[in-house]
Structure 1
Amino acid sequence: MRRSWVVIPLLLFLGLTALFLKTLSDKKTQQDLAVDPSALPSALIGKPVPFFELPSLDDPEQLISPDDLKGEVALINVWATWCPTCRAEHAYFNKLVERGVTIYGVNYKDESEAARRWLAELGNPYRLNIEDPQGSLGINLGVYGAPETFLIDAEGVIHYKYIGAVDDRVWNNELGPRYQALIDQEAQ
């Protein structure tokens, strides 16, 4: 009887160890571990930008809605002055605009005056800039925090969501090819 108390835990330990080692060597598991955490899925992929009516940061008397974002393939960038990563990517957005990329901004949970100073100092890459002081649009977009960038088609349908700073690597590997594919698709 005493030996079974020793053998049973040993067998359980060996079984769990074998299962653990098999899981580590499983290629699917290794691929799952290599998933890019900045490319979190969004329930809005394939759906239009959610309805909103929010003021323009540039002209608070002007209300902006999803209809104002239609007409061409574009990026929607969620940004804020309190976000250091947003500052890091801002110069890159200025370069993208010079190359003809359309970008709409969502100034997320920020102070209007600070945001206007930021744009005056660093340049304004945004065709339109939506003021979202309470974060209501951000919530409807499923924003985790700034910066986040969405790719939309000319009808305002969301095709991709990227979390984090956009730079050369992200543009060349993630956003740029998708942006160009949508432009090519629209041209057909």
Structure 2
Amino acid sequence: MGKFRPLMFLPPVLFLALAALFWFGNLREDREALPSAREGQAAPAVMLTQLGDLEMFDDDTLRDGEVKLVNYWASWCAPCRAEHPLLEELALELPVYGINYRDQPDRALEFLDELGNPFAASGADAAGRMALDWGLYGVPETYVVAGDGTIVLRFAGPITREVVANRIRPAIEQAAAR
């Protein structure tokens, strides 16, 4: 019989220890929440172009004293279509500002003509330059912005009734209390 070599067990033991660490670390992680460096900071500069004849918004709008939502969307985005009715409902309660992301203006306007326009004002970010400053992962993304222009929440992905109840509304209340 050969010699017993304890070091030969080291690689499998290390592998199992790392696997357990990653497994248990992922169980505690909120998979719905992507980190945002912008939460708690001032909203970046608004650099939009006109979208058809829709009213535009600017930096002053984001700092007008009112709590608001800012929503990045695109006509080619299926989840944007799915969340659209909830944006229309929220627009009855507070201003929602739309940023059309890397889209063709005629298709964006057709999207709003077909589904309705929940946005108090809109603009286009055709090159995606402003989206980079905001830390956009992809569309749709919704931001709750306090009246002083501070981003209170960034939610990546389509909003649902559950997201509105558990994430958006609490963030709106937090923004209103600022």
Q: Give the TM bin, normalised by the shorter chain.
A: 0.7 to 0.9
Distance 1:59 1:18 in 2: 60
Paired residue type of 1:3? K
Distance 2:52 2:62 in 1: 16
2:97 is paired with a residue whose SS is strand
Distance 2:11 2:48 in 1: 60
Aligned to 2:75: 81
CA separation of 1:15/1:113 partners in 2, compared to 1, >3 Å: closer, same or farther?
Answer: closer
Tell me how far 1:23 sits from its aligned partner: 3.7
CA contact (8 A) 2:52 2:105 kept: no
Tell me how far 1:114 sits from its aligned partner: 0.9
CA contact (8 A) 1:53 1:63 kept: no
Q: Which of the numbers 108, 119, 127 marks the counterpart of 2:120?
A: 127
TM-score by length of 2: 0.86
2:70 is paired with a residue whose SS is strand
Gaps in structure 2 of 5+ consecutive residues? none
Tell me how far 1:77 sits from its aligned partner: 0.5
Tell me how far 1:51 sits from its aligned partner: 1.4
Residues 80-118 of structure 1, C-alpha deviations (whole Å, 9 max, x = no match): 0010000000011111122x1221111000111111111
Higher helix share: 1
CA separation of 1:138/1:20 partners in 2, compared to 1, >3 Å: closer, same or farther?
Answer: closer
Report the structure number with the largest CA radius of gyration. Answer: 1
Q: Does 1:50 align with 2:49?
A: no
- How many residues align structurally? 177
CA separation of 1:16/1:126 partners in 2, compared to 1, >3 Å: closer, same or farther?
Answer: same
Aligned to 1:178: 171
Gaps in structure 1 of 5+ consecutive residues? none
Q: Which deviates further from its counterpart, 172-181 or 72-81?
A: 172-181
CA RMSD of aligned residues (A): 2.5
Distance 2:36 2:6 in 1: 49
Aligned to 2:135: 142
Residues 115-152 of structure 1, C-alpha deviations (whole Å, 9 max, x = no match): 11111110111111121111111111111110011111
CA separation of 1:115/1:14 partners in 2, compared to 1, >3 Å: closer, same or farther?
Answer: closer
Aligned to 1:90: 84
TM-score by length of 1: 0.82
